[in-house]
Chain A
Amino acid sequence: MLKINKLHKSYPIGDSSLHVLKGIDLSVEEGEMVAIMGSSGSGKSTLLNIIGMLDEADEGEYILDNVPIKDLTEKKAAIYRNKFLGFIFQSFNLINYKNALDNVALPLYYQGLKRKERIETALFHLEKVGLKDWAHHLPKELSGGQKQRVAIARALAANPKLLLADEPTGALDTKTSHEIMAFIQSLNDEGKTILMVTHEEDIASMCKRIVRLKDGVIMEDAFVEQVRASEYV
């Protein structure tokens, strides 16, 4: 599903440069639910961004669904992102002037689908996250948990191979976090591959595998007993 070999990334800081990722090897199979953990500056977000094609590696190999991801033009990266990846962000990143339905339908617009199909698919996914009745509300009229669920529906809309979540519960209270995690777990139960960055141990423990990063290298990579979020809800 996803294979990474000897990935390096550094950022220029003035005259010198900061070596953020120092040779990462990681492979993820279909249906896995992986948490990438680490303190801030460990390189976990950078790794996720490279996997998400939002950023490019300096060195190393990255293969996603048997497609080598390298030398991407902007246009190609856009197509790959649209086809392979669904993003869930800490700050939701909904477009504030579009209602929930239009937000969910946006990736489908960039897939070139007809409006009728877009609306149908978007409604289907909104229903899945339990927000069908909120389809015509603007983001500002939704609670944090609802916004994140709209964002999840949007990430699912294009039927991506891989769901990437960057601190998906970072902006939510504990109760809502558990609701969101329960939902993400149910997606994984249905077979979606999920990769998430978090620094919260209890959130990480709800995944099936934890990869710990420190100073740009993988310190630990272990499969864990998954804690079901529904226990808390």
Chain B
Amino acid sequence: MFDRDLWREIFQSINMNKTRTLLSGFTVTFAILLFALLFGITNGLLNTFDSAFVDDAKNSIFINSGRTSKASNGLQAGRQIQFENKDQKWIEEEFDGKVQYITSRIYINVTATFRNEKSSYSVRAVNPDHQFLENTKVTYGRYINESDIKNKTKVVVIGRLVEEDLFLKTTAIGKYVNLNGIQYKVVGIFEDDGGDNEERYIYMPVSTAQQIYGNNDHIDQINLTYNPDMDFDAAIGFSNLLTRKLKDRFMVSQNDQRAIRVRNLANESKAVDQMTFILGILVLVIGFGTLIAGIVGISNIMIFIVKERTKEIGIRKALGASPSSIVLIILLESILITIIAGFLGLFLGMGILELIGPSLEDYFIKDPYVSINLVIGATFTLIIAGGLAGYLPAKKASKIKPIIALRND
């Protein structure tokens, strides 16, 4: 196989039969290119679906309040429902064991200044559990803790982009940032996979915000995660029960859709899971489909090549070529072409994905990436298929009597 003369023969045949070489090479390149592109794009779609939910924990339930839309219990419609600290405590006690993490949220808009830098941000005043609900990644320092809540300390945890905006290239940890005239100590920096907007938030202890900005017990929103051991039906049952009990507690009609709104992510994540599953199957079908098309293509070309070379095979045999040398020369040629063409398709595919990937984000395709191992696997599958597809007709051709191959027609 490592005979120089044999390879000289092969390269001569490849060089002098450019159309044939290009034709078979193109089929393989195209199959691998398509494989990489389709796989990459479907992966990109999957990534979009996944990332839509990395922002929040998948078992999150959000509870918001509003004005009542229906009269009930002798109270008029239009009454504002306001959650307070005791409501959060009540949920914790009432649904002990079903709630995993729970936090309040108060929204405050602030103007933040540090030295000469000034900018507007949203503050979320929260409990320590919020970190787990929001999938917040603290990269430096720490998050809000229980002692902050208890002592109403003036500390904040700021997003990576807040630090970039205000503190420029220096670290913010330990420094004081001015929010609407009050100094807060920065105790932590965080990152969030939910995107740039998520990294422009500032977190502070809920108790601190309540004291400074209203001197009351009000909270805007209660977020919680249910016990992840619950299956989909149990989770839905839990949020339904929670809604019913909350409505009773605030004397809201059970038919009132506005006063108390409970949003359970289980509903959405189930739809996403189904979508992901279908996309996953689609990926498999597309992948195998392209591969099979490639295999059929290379097989056809191999049969065509052997047919075209029948006369040459006859001449070679008349001159003393053994059948095995005929098979070897045809096989090595086809394998060589498939390898080169396959890897060309691989690099083209990866290159194109790399190139157009960022511009596809507008079309819900995020990080269209295909693992190199997968494409190499596909390439080798084609090489083996091309080899097999070439072997059978080559074997057959090598057994043709030279007299038949040389017949004048």
Contact = CB atoms under 8 A, between A and B. Distances in A.
A78 interface: yes
A98 interface: yes
B241 interface: no
Interface in B306-333: 311-312, 314-325
Nearest to A81: B320
Interface string A71-89: 0001100110111000101
A15 B315 CA distance: 31
Interface stretch (B22-30, B357-365, B396-404): B396-404
A141 to B, nearest CB: 13
- Residue of A74, A78, A94, A115 contacting most chain B CB atoms (<10 Å): A78
Given A75-B323, A110-B320, A95 B5 contact: no
Contacts of B322: 74-75, 78-79, 110
Interface in A83-119: 83, 87, 89-91, 93-95, 97-98, 102, 106-107, 109-111, 115
Interface residues of A, number: 29
Nearest to B20: A97
Contacts of A75: 322-324
Which secondary structure characterizes the binding site on chain A? Answer: helix
Contact of A82 (B13, B314, B320, B399): B320
A152 to B, nearest CB: 14
A158 interface: yes
A79 B325 CA distance: 12
Contacts of B317: 78, 81
B319 A55 contact: no
A106 B316 contact: yes
Contacts of A79: 320, 322
A102 B406 contact: no
Contact of A93 (B5, B13, B406): B406
A10 interface: no
A75 B326 CA distance: 11
Contacts of A106: 316, 319
A78 B317 CA distance: 6
Contacts of B355: none
Contact of B320 (A78, A91, A102): A78
A97 B318 contact: no
A102 B9 CA distance: 10
